[in-house]
Structures are given as C-alpha cells and as structure tokens.
Amino acid sequence: MPRRPPLEDDPNDEDFSPSFGSVPKRKKGGDNLTVSKRRKGNTAASRQEEGSCTSSLDRHSKSLHGIKDPHGIRVSLLKWFTDVHDEREMPWRKRYDPSLNAQERSQRAYEVWVSEVMLQQTQVSTVVPYYNRWMSKFPTVHELAKSNIEEVNALWKGLGYYSRASRLLSGAQKVATSMRGKLPDNAKDLQANIPGIGRYSAGAICSIAYGERVPVLDGNVHRLLSRVLALYAPPKAKATLDLLWNAATQLVTLQDTLEVSPAAVDTVTGIQSSDRGYTQYPGDINQALIELGSTVCKVREPRCDICPLREWCWAFKLAHGKNDESSSMVTDVPDIEDTCMLCEPLADRCTVTVFPMKPDRKRAREELDIVNVIEWRSSRVAPERLFLLVRRPENGLLAGLYEFPTTADVSKAISHGAAVKQVYDWLSKIQIKLSNLPKGRGARTVKFEPGVHQDYQVKSITAAGDVVHNFSHIRKTYRVQWVVLEGGEKPPELAADLSSEKCGSGASFIPEDAVTKTAVWCPLTQVENANIGTGVLKVWNLVRLQWEKEVLNM
C-alpha cells in the first residue's frame, strides 16, 4: 500500500483520518453564493490548466454524487489492480490465500497492521527497509509484545511520528495478554479493542487479512471518490465523510456477479475469485482503491489518460465536456428535493484537480523550548566526555525517546538570565551539587568562579543558537545552551530515581535495564546513534558546530 496522506492533526489521536485541515463554517441564513477569496485563488489557477468545466456547479442534482455503475467500476478497477499488484514490490502485499487457517490469518493481520501504521504519512520506499527490519526482529505479535519501548523506538528511529511505534507495542501487548495472541477477525472488534486502530485501519486489516467486506477511506480514497463523484464539499464535514464512506461501502459490499468455478470460492468467507484473471476479494478492492488514488489519481498532475475509472469519473467528464449527460446534470435546475446541499459553489471553469475542495490549513502553534546540552568532562589528562540524556514519558509526543534536558513552551520573551536559570533548575532536579556560582550573566558565554567544597563545577554555559523543528501540529523553536561540567574521575551521580548508567552498546545504546529509568550519561561517540528524535539530532549538530568553531578560534 502507498503512503497515507496527511494523517492526524494530533499525532496522539487514534488511527488517522484524511486530514485536510480546518474548514470555515458556513454563515447561517446565507445562500452560499459568495465565492471566498480562497476559491477565487483556485479559480485563477484553474484557468491556466487544460480541460475546463463549461458549466457551473452552483446548483445541481444530488444524484451527481451517486455511484452509477458499481459493478462496472469494480470490474475495471480490479482488472487494473491485477496488472499492477506486484509492481512496487511491497513485502507486505501478498495474494489473498483462502486456504489459510485462523492462526495464519491472524499472522497476516499482524503483518498488514504493521505496514498500515508505518505507511501513515511515510513513502513506500522509506517504509520497505523499516518493515523488513521490524518483521525480522518482531516476526509475530508475541515477539513484539515481549519487547519494550526502548527496542521499539530504536528500530523506529528515523521514521518519525514515534507515537505510532508505542501504539503498536501497547496493542501487541493487549493482544498477547487478553486475546490469546490473535487479532480480532472483524473490524468492529478490532477498532473497539486495539489502541490506536480507527475505522480506516480496522477496515484495511480485516478486508485484506480476513476477507471481511468492510470499506476503507484514507486520503487517497477520499480524493479518488471525490473526483469520481464530483463532490466539492468541506472535506472533513460529517456529511461529506458519510457520503464517501457509503460510496466505498457500496463498492466493497457489492455481491460478486461473475461466473466462477467451485474451486474459486473461499470456503471460510464464501468470497468468489474470478476465472477471468482477477479476484473480487474485499482486500483487493480496497487496496486497488488506495493504489489508484496514490499512483494515478494524484493530488497534482493526475494520470487521467491511464485511469481505469475515467469512464465513470464525473470530475473528468465535467472538466473535458465529454458528454451531454454531464452537461445536463449541472445545467438543468433540479427540484428542491433533489438539489445537492453538500457542495459549495464552484467556479464556471475548473479542472479535475479542483476536487476535492481545498480547505484552509490550520496553522501550527508555535512554541519555544530551552534545551540544555549538558556535558561532563573528567579531570583526566585525556578527559572523557559524556552527555546527559533524559527519557520522555511513554505517552504523548515523542513517547519514550531520549532528549537533552528541556524546559518546554517557555515565554518567547525569556531573557538570557532566565534561560541560564533553567540550567540550574535541571541540575538541581537531578541532584548534581556544584561548588561554584555564575558570573557575567549578560554575556553570551557564562563563566563561573571556582569552588572549594565539591568536585563538580560548571565551566561555562554557551548560547549555541536556535533550531526550528516542525511537527504536524507544532512549530518548535529549540533555544540551545551548551553546558560544560568539569571535575571528578566519574560522572556526577544522578538522583536516586534516575539512572547513573552510561549508554551501553547495542541497537539502542541504552542499557537493557534502563526501561524504567529516566536519565543516562551517554558517551560523545554514541549520542548520534542513541534513541533520539530528528529534532534532538538537529540540536546535537548545532552544538557540535559550536565547539568546532571554538577549536578553530583557539
């Protein structure tokens, strides 16, 4: 399966839905004939493209948005999918095997589940090596359930949206402990009982692995069906989604009508496969819709010339004036009872890419974090250099990953002195006792008077600069401070409830017994490969650049 278009606005939401941003509310009492500035912009752009609507969609029959020939659509779709099934060599895409027993089907459900989660907002080419490594380490749901967040995050590193990994782990643990190691074989129970699985994922898993006739509607299918039905309505509105879910349901639940041999009937599900070279399994239908939306009916530059659904696509007919039927559907004034109440006014000239309606994007909130890269250097001739990493909670943003001690979402007007105070707050929190006090707080680099009672001293706090990192719903600015501690033969002991271990060797560079610990000292050479996110890696690279500059200036 291809990449899933933008998923959740909040990466902690269950599953993901076609996330198109917020949609402005309609004004009460209005006739909706006023074209917004956004739609005017769309109109101007569309006039430069080939293939334009010759009729207005301001008022039209709701019958325009119905599946006219579900059988013909499905036959053409499945013939096309049979030809492209193996083109992209996706290891999770396998031919449906009706001879599998219950345990084997559950294993297929696990494989599809992993692939679906990884594909959320991630390209197929990126996912393939991650999927192969994952299945090598966690070949079954039982193996995954025996793992921990450290191992899971280490394997997930670089894929982004780490909450996806933690949901897979928690879901596997529930399956192993409460469901005898078998994923539910129907979408209703799967969605209700497994953390992080919503309607889309439940439909994909159960149709592909179990042959259940349930629909899917991700961003690819949403776009495809919006064009087939020429639906120009707020994309996240309940009425819009209901219509599209119903259309997807109609295609997957249509009873097979082709002539088949008895040997081509699944004895478990009763589903038929065709003697004519293609199957009618629900999983194939759903995968075909997703694949077509991803590879042909693309957001920009759709390949209408090779689309198997072009004959039934209202957006294509309207854009190219293909027949009298499309013209009459939008020029004949319908009875009030038959008038579409979903669509908003559309310009007289349009292209296929006008559909679906483009919403106003919700702007990500902006936050400022103070990030303290705390380094300890031993008093040896060739000092050992260790860096303090703190583990995030197992729930929420970047669950279970390590980061440098960070004070999140501070005032954007924070002073340099207040930022320096954050260093002392963190050192106090982890109970590192110092023998010196800062001087020169107004300077870029804060130096300290040496003390006489303790081994550990803060040599300097250097403002390293800012790093910007974008999440789906937050634009983070990391204000980075490089803190150097010196003294002692061993690194400072951390608080009793924190770890005093160093990063160990292995895939995650975190000790196996560190699962319940919240901080570690990590050697300089292992920080880059530790269980850290992309934003933290940006911070690390900024600090490395800072000390490289200092070396050059010595």
Cα 259 from Cα 200, distance rounded (Å): 31
Q: How distant, in Å, are the alpha carbons of 31, 105, 123, 230, 280 from that of 271?
A: 48, 15, 32, 31, 7
Please enumerate in sequence order all residues whose Cβ is within 8 A of that of 124, keeping only pairs 6 or more positions apart, or say none.
Answer: 1, 2, 3, 88, 90
Cα 522 from Cα 512, distance rounded (Å): 14
Rounded to 5 degrees, φ, ψ at 251 are: -75, -35
CA nearest to 389, candidates 517, 544, 541: 517
Instruction: Yes or no: say if 113 and 119 are a contact pair by the CB < 8 Å rule.
Output: no
What's the burial of 24, exposed, middle or buried (CB within 10 Å: 0-12/13-18/19+)? exposed
**DSSP category for residue 312:** G
Catalytic residue selected from 8, 14, 111, 116:
116
**DSSP category for residue 339:** B
CA–centroid distance for 274 within its chain:
36
Residue 296 is which amino acid?
A: V
Report helix angle 282-295 to 219-228, nearest 10.
80
506: alpha, beta or left? (left if phi > 0; alpha if psi -120 to 50):
left
Tokens of 533: 């996110």
Query: Could you give the 3-state DSSP secondary structure of residue 178?
Result: helix
Q: Between β-strands 365-377 and 474-486, what pairing exists: parallel, antiparallel or unpaired?
A: parallel
Q: Is 49 a catalytic residue?
A: no
Give 240-245 contacts, CB < 8 A, sequence gap 24+: 240/342, 241/17, 241/217, 243/65, 243/342, 244/217, 245/215, 245/217
Cα 445 from Cα 416, distance rounded (Å): 10
Cα 158 from Cα 168, distance rounded (Å): 16
CA nearest to 50, candidates 357, 305, 225: 305
Catalytic residues: 116
